Amino acid sequence: GAGVSQSPSNKVTEKGKDVELRCDPISGHTALYWYRQRLGQGLEFLIYFQGNSAPDKSGLPSDRFSAERTGESVSTLTIQRTQQEDSAVYLCASGRDRGEKLFFGSGTQLSVL
Protein backbone atom coordinates (compact mmCIF):
# COMPACT_ATOMS: atom_id res chain seq x y z
CA GLY A 1 0.00 0.00 0.00
CA ALA A 2 0.87 3.64 -0.18
CA GLY A 3 1.36 4.03 3.54
CA VAL A 4 1.14 2.33 6.91
CA SER A 5 -2.42 1.29 7.59
CA GLN A 6 -3.85 0.72 11.06
CA SER A 7 -7.22 -0.64 12.07
CA PRO A 8 -9.49 0.07 13.71
CA SER A 9 -8.98 3.82 13.88
CA ASN A 10 -11.04 3.96 17.06
CA LYS A 11 -11.86 1.28 19.59
CA VAL A 12 -14.02 1.64 22.65
CA THR A 13 -14.04 -1.33 25.00
CA GLU A 14 -15.05 -2.23 28.50
CA LYS A 15 -12.55 -2.85 31.23
CA GLY A 16 -11.52 -6.50 31.29
CA LYS A 17 -12.15 -7.18 27.62
CA ASP A 18 -9.43 -8.17 25.15
CA VAL A 19 -8.61 -6.04 22.11
CA GLU A 20 -6.61 -6.65 18.96
CA LEU A 21 -5.03 -3.86 16.95
CA ARG A 22 -3.77 -4.36 13.43
CA CYS A 23 -0.96 -2.79 11.45
CA ASP A 24 -0.24 -3.19 7.73
CA PRO A 25 3.26 -1.82 7.06
CA ILE A 26 4.57 -0.54 3.77
CA SER A 27 5.50 -3.42 1.49
CA GLY A 28 9.17 -4.32 1.73
CA HIS A 29 9.73 -2.66 5.09
CA THR A 30 11.62 -4.99 7.38
CA ALA A 31 11.40 -2.83 10.50
CA LEU A 32 8.10 -2.46 12.36
CA TYR A 33 7.45 -0.67 15.64
CA TRP A 34 4.55 -0.24 18.02
CA TYR A 35 4.45 2.88 20.20
CA ARG A 36 1.91 4.07 22.75
CA GLN A 37 1.06 7.73 23.16
CA ARG A 38 -1.05 8.84 26.08
CA LEU A 39 -2.83 12.17 25.82
CA GLY A 40 -0.31 15.00 25.75
CA GLN A 41 2.60 12.63 26.26
CA GLY A 42 5.53 11.32 24.23
CA LEU A 43 6.02 8.20 22.14
CA GLU A 44 6.44 5.22 24.44
CA PHE A 45 8.27 2.30 22.80
CA LEU A 46 6.45 -1.02 23.07
CA ILE A 47 7.96 -3.56 20.65
CA TYR A 48 10.29 -3.72 17.62
CA PHE A 49 10.36 -6.29 14.82
CA GLN A 50 13.33 -6.40 12.44
CA GLY A 51 13.19 -8.94 9.64
CA ASN A 52 13.36 -12.50 10.90
CA SER A 53 15.18 -11.60 14.12
CA ALA A 54 13.58 -12.18 17.49
CA PRO A 55 11.48 -9.12 18.37
CA ASP A 56 12.61 -6.67 21.03
CA LYS A 57 9.76 -6.84 23.54
CA SER A 58 11.48 -4.80 26.22
CA GLY A 59 8.90 -2.01 26.12
CA LEU A 60 5.78 -4.09 26.70
CA PRO A 61 4.39 -2.80 30.02
CA SER A 62 2.96 -6.09 31.29
CA ASP A 63 2.22 -9.67 30.29
CA ARG A 64 -1.24 -8.51 29.23
CA PHE A 65 0.42 -7.07 26.12
CA SER A 66 1.65 -9.20 23.24
CA ALA A 67 2.40 -8.69 19.57
CA GLU A 68 3.03 -10.82 16.54
CA ARG A 69 4.24 -10.21 13.05
CA THR A 70 3.80 -12.55 10.11
CA GLY A 71 7.04 -12.51 8.17
CA GLU A 72 7.58 -8.96 6.96
CA SER A 73 3.90 -8.12 6.71
CA VAL A 74 0.97 -7.62 9.04
CA SER A 75 1.41 -7.17 12.76
CA THR A 76 -1.16 -7.42 15.54
CA LEU A 77 -0.93 -5.98 19.03
CA THR A 78 -3.14 -7.73 21.55
CA ILE A 79 -4.07 -6.34 24.94
CA GLN A 80 -5.76 -8.77 27.29
CA ARG A 81 -7.98 -7.83 30.21
CA THR A 82 -7.83 -4.15 29.32
CA GLN A 83 -7.50 -1.56 32.08
CA GLN A 84 -8.39 2.13 32.03
CA GLU A 85 -4.71 3.06 32.02
CA ASP A 86 -4.40 1.30 28.64
CA SER A 87 -6.39 4.14 27.07
CA ALA A 88 -4.11 5.84 24.55
CA VAL A 89 -3.28 6.12 20.87
CA TYR A 90 -1.35 3.11 19.64
CA LEU A 91 0.92 4.00 16.73
CA CYS A 92 2.55 1.60 14.32
CA ALA A 93 5.55 2.60 12.21
CA SER A 94 7.59 0.82 9.57
CA GLY A 95 10.95 1.42 7.92
CA ARG A 96 13.07 -0.12 5.18
CA ASP A 97 15.94 -1.00 7.49
CA ARG A 98 18.09 0.14 10.38
CA GLY A 99 18.95 3.80 10.11
CA GLU A 100 16.11 4.56 7.74
CA LYS A 101 13.22 6.91 8.35
CA LEU A 102 10.03 5.59 9.84
CA PHE A 103 6.59 6.01 8.33
CA PHE A 104 3.83 6.19 10.92
CA GLY A 105 0.27 5.01 10.62
CA SER A 106 -2.60 7.20 11.78
CA GLY A 107 -2.93 5.20 14.95
CA THR A 108 -5.69 3.44 16.86
CA GLN A 109 -7.38 5.49 19.56
CA LEU A 110 -8.19 3.02 22.34
CA SER A 111 -10.64 4.01 25.03
CA VAL A 112 -11.23 1.66 27.94
CA LEU A 113 -14.38 2.46 29.92
The piece of 8-16, 68-76, 79-87, 95-103 that touches other proteins (CB under 8 A) is 95-103
Q: Is residue 56 within the footprint of other proteins (CB under 8 A)? A: yes
Give the one residue of 30, 105, 108, 112 binding other proteins; rule: CB under 8 A.
105
Query: CB-wise, 33 or 65, nearer to other proteins?
Result: 33
**C-alpha angle 51/7/65, rounded to 5°?**
65
- Cα separations in angstroms, 41 against 36, 51, 59, 88: 9, 29, 16, 10
Shortest Å, Cβ 55 to other proteins: 10
d(CA 29, CA 105): 13
Residue 30: C-alpha distances to residues 35, 53, 55 (Å): 17, 10, 12
Contact segment (CB under 8 A) with other proteins among 19-27, 34-42, 64-72, 74-82 equals 34-42
Give the footprint of other proteins on this chain (CB under 8 A): 33, 35, 41-43, 45, 48, 56, 58-59, 91, 93, 98-107
